[in-house]
């Protein structure tokens, strides 16, 4: 009898867990105003790209652009700032196959992706370069066109580094579970001494909080958390 009840309770728990997860993602997105605005911009662009296709005879691969915006929107919702980075990079590497060689939007997508997630800095330029080589070969463009694109890529990187710094979040964006964990650490407990989650869950949640708030270490995250609590 008890086993039958447990089987019935499991789907209910999973359902509530899924609802909690989606509520959590919505709350995190609402807490990051700029990311929320970017999310809706991409949703609006999907509609506009389709409307442009229906009302004009211009062939500009609307379905690729609309799909790219949809991908970015989904990744933003599920992975936040990191999702924006990966979405833009994938979109940029796809667009390079259909854009003319003097259209430099894909270069900016790559640099914005790196700014949103600095961990991409090492691999991203090489992957982008491979896509440029393949796409230019498919279009039968000459070496001069390729050199122009590469010089612009380098030049835009220098300009962006000269003018802008990586825009780290001014205020921590944390889930309720992450706040509970940080309060325990603030009280002097070690990660393995936190009882309401398993050690693996604590590690995973802290990693997610670090990445979302662009803190390299848990100590840096905790220091910022303590500073915010003092100012409140």
The gap between the terminal CA atoms of the chain, to the nearest Å, is: 52
* Cα–Cα distance for residue pair 71/89, rounded to 1 Å: 11
Q: Residue 213 in contact with residue 173, Cβ under 8 Å?
A: yes
Q: Could you state, in order of their start, the residue ranges of all structural domains in the chain?
A: 32-163, 176-231
In this structure, what are the phi and psi dihedrals at residue 194, rounded to the nearest 5 degrees?
-75, 125
Segment (H or E) for 80: helix 62-95
pLDDT digits (tens, 9 = 90+) for 174-231: 888 888 888 888 888 887 888 888 888 888 889 888 888 888 888 888 888 888 877 5
Is it the case that residue 7 has pLDDT exceeding 60? no
pTM of structure: 0.75
pLDDT digits (tens, 9 = 90+) for 85-99: 999 999 999 999 998
- Taking alpha carbons only, the member of 171, 184, 150, 152 closest to residue 224 is 171
* Cα–Cα distance for residue pair 79/87, rounded to 1 Å: 10
What is the longest distance spanned by two Cα atoms in the chain?
Answer: 77
Residue that is written with structure tokens 């940029």 in the block:
92
**Residue 29: strand, helix, or coil:** helix
Q: Residue 177 in contact with residue 205, Cβ under 8 Å?
A: yes
Average pLDDT, the chain: 85
Q: How many Cβ atoms sit within 10 Å of the Cβ of residue 57? A: 5
């Amino acid at each position: 009898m008890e086993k039958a009840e447990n089987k019935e309770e499991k789907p209910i728990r999973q359902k509530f867990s899924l609802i909690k997860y989606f509520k959590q993602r919505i709350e995190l997105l609402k807490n990051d105003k700029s990311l929320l605005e970017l999310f809706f911009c991409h949703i609006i662009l999907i509609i506009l790209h389709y409307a442009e296709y229906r009302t004009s005879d211009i062939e500009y691969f609307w379905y690729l652009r609309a799909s790219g915006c949809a991908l970015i929107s989904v990744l933003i919702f599920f992975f936040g700032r990191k999702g924006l980075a990966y979405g833009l990079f994938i979109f940029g590497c796809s667009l390079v196959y259909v854009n003319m060689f003097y259209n430099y939007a894909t270069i900016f997508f790559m640099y914005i992706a790196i700014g949103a997630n600095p961990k991409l800095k090492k691999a991203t330029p090489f992957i982008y370069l491979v896509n440029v080589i393949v796409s230019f070969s498919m279009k039968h463009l000459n070496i001069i066109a390729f050199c122009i694109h590469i010089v612009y890529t380098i030049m835009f990187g220098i300009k962006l580094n000269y003018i802008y710094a990586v825009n780290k979040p001014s205020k921590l964006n944390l889930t309720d579970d992450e706040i509970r964990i940080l309060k325990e650490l603030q009280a002097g407990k070690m990660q393995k001494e936190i009882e309401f989650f398993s050690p693996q869950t604590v590690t995973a949640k802290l990693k997610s909080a670090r990445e979302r708030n662009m803190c390299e270490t848990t100590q840096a995250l905790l220091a910022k958390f303590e500073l915010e609590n003092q100012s409140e």
